[in-house]
């Protein structure tokens, strides 16, 4: 039962020095430090339950997100949790439509990242109070209640509230069977951890070989910095994984439109399933041009990890600019907005293959993709969820992979809670970056 008044919201800047070993490196982000603005919500209830939320960042700038969260906290502290969840659409709109704060959005950038962190914490607390993992909280909801959590403003030309309700109502058919299937088999995953751009060929070969032995059959390769280097690396990986396993490419927004077409055409011999983020993440028509050009090669376009909001996803779908839709649990406005995007993807018959390359993203997005299969898409065709093998040890309930699939989480909540000792160790000094810290300071922070 939902209960309690929110008495405090605190936020901490947590950064991990992943750039030291080139974890997470790609053509555009050469030295990422996987980081998070980490939110904790407390209520006046005696049960001691707290809501934990986060939004993913790459190091510098996390302090800006922290400031944005502090600014949004005035809409949260003092509110009754039952009041929030009984009118979740209204609460979502209150956060995204603050008459002054929306000016530095609206519904995009730092403000939207902050919104996601706050709402992720609210969903975590709600699920904990109900004694369910987040995916199960969603699965057990009545379609009308689910629809009431979604703000349909700006997307009714692509998906109406009535259409969303019909999709969810139809999704009830066979739901129990699909839930049992997930509990038994898990949700299929692909790995990005083997082929970060900064890895040497030797390290890349070692990781791919190890992954094969562990049962992985789907591999993503970072490309885009140098064509000859990409050809060499893709050739090496294809030789290791064989002709029957899947390879995906990710350029992380590196190219112009025509450059993307020409570059990927030269990599087509390695049979990639998709090219991810081939150009500016905002260029919807550019993605559509690339999609048309690569269709004859059997290569799809995937994007979404830096798609600002549901309106952009709507336009990507309307323009037939993507063939694989990549929701992100921290870029969009939490569960509420991801629900709308998953429902639009269902209507347009585009598979959802979430982005999860970052600290905590695997933990969160596993809940969303389970819900999508059980209640929305009902299909595993051309569907898989990204997995990166980094930093899970810092979470109280880390994601579990079995047989290259996400095992279904059983603990109540959204799997967002970090270990307090990890937060203390990696909480960042205000206003600094890793390279500015001396060796003693760096040692204290990991």
Q: With 0-12 CB in 10 A as exposed, 13-18 as middle and 19+ as buried, what is 47? A: exposed
Q: Are 57 and 65 in contact (CB under 8 A)?
A: yes
Give the span between the Cα atoms of 321 and 311, in whole angstroms: 14
**In contact, 301 and 290? CB cutoff 8 Å:** yes
Q: Mark whether 184 is an active-site residue.
A: no
Q: Which residue has the tokens 């629809």?
A: 147
Q: Which residues contact 218 (CB under 8 A, 6 or more apart)?
A: 188, 189, 190, 191, 245, 246, 248, 384, 404
Residue of 355, 367, 390, 394 with catalytic role: 355
Cis peptide before 205 (omega within 30 of 0): no
User: Has 213 been annotated as catalytic?
Assistant: no
CA distance 193 to 196: 7
User: Rounded CA gap, 384 and 302, in Å?
Assistant: 12
Name residue, tokens 């959204």.
Answer: 414
| Active-site residue, from 23, 108, 220, 222 | 222
Tokens of 301: 């376009």
Strand order in the sheet with 6-15: 6-15, 35-43, 50-57
Kindly list the catalytic residues: 222, 355
């Amino acid at each position: 039962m939902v209960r309690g008044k929110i008495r405090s919201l605190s936020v901490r800047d947590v950064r991990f020095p992943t750039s030291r070993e080139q974890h997470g490196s790609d053509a555009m982000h050469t030295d990422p430090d996987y980081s998070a603005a980490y939110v904790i919500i407390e209520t006046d209830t005696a049960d001691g339950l707290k809501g934990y939320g986060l939004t993913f960042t790459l190091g510098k700038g996390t302090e800006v997100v922290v400031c944005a969260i502090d600014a949004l906290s005035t809409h949260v502290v003092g509110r009754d949790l039952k009041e929030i969840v009984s009118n979740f659409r209204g609460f979502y709109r209150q956060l995204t439509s603050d008459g002054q704060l929306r000016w530095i959005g609206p519904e995009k950038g730092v403000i939207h990242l902050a919104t996601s962190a706050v709402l992720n914490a609210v969903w975590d607390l709600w699920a904990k109070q109900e004694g369910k993992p987040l995916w199960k909280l969603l699965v057990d909801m009545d379609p009308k209640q689910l629809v009431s959590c979604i703000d349909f403003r700006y997307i009714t030309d692509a998906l109406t509230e009535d259409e969303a309700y019909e999709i969810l109502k139809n999704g009830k058919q066979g739901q129990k069977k699909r839930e049992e299937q997930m509990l038994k088999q898990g949700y299929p995953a692909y790995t990005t951890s083997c082929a970060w751009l900064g890895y040497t060929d030797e390290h890349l070969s070692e990781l791919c070989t190890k992954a094969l032995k562990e049962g992985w059959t789907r591999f993503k390769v970072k490309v885009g910095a140098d064509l000859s280097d990409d050809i060499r690396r893709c050739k090496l990986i294809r030789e290791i994984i064989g002709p029957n396993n899947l390879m995906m490419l990710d350029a992380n927004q590196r190219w112009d439109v025509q450059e993307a077409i020409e570059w990927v055409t030269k990599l087509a011999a390695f049979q990639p399933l998709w090219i991810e983020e081939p150009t500016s993440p905002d260029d919807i028509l550019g993605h559509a041009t690339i999609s048309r050009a690569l269709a004859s090669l059997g290569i799809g376009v995937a994007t979404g990890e830096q798609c600002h909001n549901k309106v952009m996803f709507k336009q990507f779908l309307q323009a037939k600019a993507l063939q694989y839709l990549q929701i992100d649990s921290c870029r969009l406005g939490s569960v509420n907005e991801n629900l709308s995007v998953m429902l639009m993807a269902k209507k347009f018959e585009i598979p959802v293959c979430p982005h999860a390359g970052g600290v905590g993203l695997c933990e969160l997005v596993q809940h969303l993709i389970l819900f999508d299969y059980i209640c929305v898409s009902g299909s595993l065709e051309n569907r898989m969820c990204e997995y990166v093998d980094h930093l899970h040890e810092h979470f109280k309930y880390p994601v579990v992979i079995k047989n290259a699939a996400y095992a279904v989480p059983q603990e109540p909540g959204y799997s967002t809670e970090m270990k307090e000792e990890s937060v203390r160790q990696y909480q960042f000094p205000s206003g600094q970056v890793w390279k500015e810290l001396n060796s003693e300071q760096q040692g204290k922070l990991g």
